[in-house]
Structure 1
Amino acid sequence: MMTRTAHSLVLAAALLASTAMSALAGDADTQIKAPVLRATVNVTGDIVRVGDLIENAGAAANIAVYRAPDLGTTGLLPTAQVIAALRNHQVIGVDVRDIKEVAVSRLARAIDAKEVSAAVAQALEHRNGLGDAASLSVSFDQPVQDLKFDASASGTLAPTSVRFDPRSGRFDVNFELGNGNGATPIKLRYTGVAVETVETVVLIRNVDRNEMIRSSDLQIERRPRAELAGGEPASRELAVGMQMRRAVRAGQALKTTDLAKPDLVQRDQTVTLIYQTAGIYLTTRGKALEAGTDGDVVSVLNLQSKRTVTGRVTGRGQVSVDIAVAKPAQTSEAVMPAPVAVASRLPASATPKAE
């Protein structure tokens, strides 16, 4: 039998073996977590620390090593220079993994001129008679520079005060840009002029009154609504094939009131007069005394009866006259084409016989 003393020695040996194994395992973990150099480094502040440059920095992680590059830029550091700087702070044994240089980038929140314009337009939307933000054209008193802030400035451009004068179109808008780290918000102010625009068609050549509009005469542009003088902008679909009510110069935006349906009947044109009612359809020639488009009521001289009648334009060179109501101008006689004499032939059986 094993004595108590021998048993104790066996337990002690086992404990020593267990402690040795734990120590070896700890050494293995230390080797696995050895400091390793990073090839690319992203920082959000103005200081580069040991923990930014290497993995598993341990207690040395917060030691400042370099000043960060400018906002939104990247700087390159030779690996030998980085290792020397780390050694000065008692950080040794860093695995460089064949890295020749370290790229250090300083993250930033960038705001460009387009984002500023959109924020101003959004702030002015529907203010003092303005339309949607998308329809506003914004110009600034001073050129808007692209801005860069610390990455912590992750908030939106929030308007704190908005002023707009509808007579001059001038605006004065103040913004705040919030910080995620609780720092004081960044304040920005912009002044300038805002104009509401509309999409319309613009003539690329001079067009005379009564001239027909072709697709090649037009181009689509956004123009200030004030150019339309309170009228509605014309679309390409509406304008093509229409006739000008007035002469318009090249470069002018078209309004719906500038356009008219094309004349189907011209003044002094020879037209076909159509007399139609239930069971009757008669045509004769006439001379238009005025121009008209589809559906217009015009005066026409009936060339057969020499009377002036009124009718409705129903097609190119055609005017329809309602027999039931049509009357000659300045007279009460019913309007009908002059009757055409027809010689009727009696049947043979009814022919009188000579006596």
Structure 2
Amino acid sequence: MERFRWLYIIGLILVLGTEGAGAPVRVVLPESVSVRGDEIFLGQVARIDGTSDLDDFSLGRSPGPGSSLNLPGSRIRIRILQQFPDAECEIPGIVRVERQGQHISEERVRVLVHEALQKENRDVSVRIRDLRLVGQNVFALGRLTLGRLETTGTGSRVRGQFPVYVDGNSAGNLRFVAQIDRMGTVLVATRNLEKDGMIRPEDLRQERRDITGLRGDVLSHPDQALGMALRLRVGEGDVLRSDRLIRPPLVRRGDPVRMVVESDNLRVHTSGQALRDGGLGDRIPVENLRTGKVVQGEVMAAGRVRLAF
């Protein structure tokens, strides 16, 4: 009796084991699936019964973040049957695969661009009139950071980009085009100022203007212009630039000058004649009237030139 009982148990184990080993493989894939990473794995998008060997079965590269692609269901079925010939497959004719991503809005880019440009232009107020993203603005999921703003272009039209990193890895560039204004303080002529005229306080006023289209040598403070002479005529309301100003000559060519030689314990004066116009600090040639020798001297005041000792 005991013998028959053991034979029954062994037979039952063999039957159950055979049924478990012969369990069919079944793969069910919906018409539309969503993925996160760079590769499409069957185990992430399908229901798989009967085996785990298909979990890491790759269906190919994922589309770009925020994009989609269509995979032929027949091709997926053939590849599964090559590995499991008896597998049951419920796979539609076309499988649409969508890649998840994180979106960067134009409004966020506008804020980032304004902050970066304002930091680069501390003395002016930057205003963005229009901004448009160009190309990709959806990136892979993960910790997203932006690199330093890079810009090109002159005047009010600016092209730029931020390098994008996801989890520390390069993920492309966030590109844009923008129209911007830069408001700053400039010096303006209160009246018509003639060439060679000396600039006085009443000739100037400060105004707040859009300086986007102006050259970089515009003046902003009266101290930069007072006491200077004009190289060119400046009209009323015109912005003053440094290239239109010159230091007024304290010595003119042909003027008699006092030539001074100085040291700690010695001061010598002699008469000379300027051979070229010169402003304060300019080095000009001077002829010594006693010896006829021409030397170089530094203009130190009206009618006075200092010679090197």
TM tier relative to shorter chain: 0.3 to 0.5
Query: Given the two structures, how large is their TM-score scaled by the length of structure 1?
Result: 0.38
> Which of the pair is proportionally richer in strand?
2
For the pair shown, the structure with the greater C-alpha radius of gyration is 1
Larger RCO: 1 or 2 (CA < 8 Å, sep 6+): 2
Query: Given the two structures, how large is their TM-score scaled by the length of structure 2?
Result: 0.43
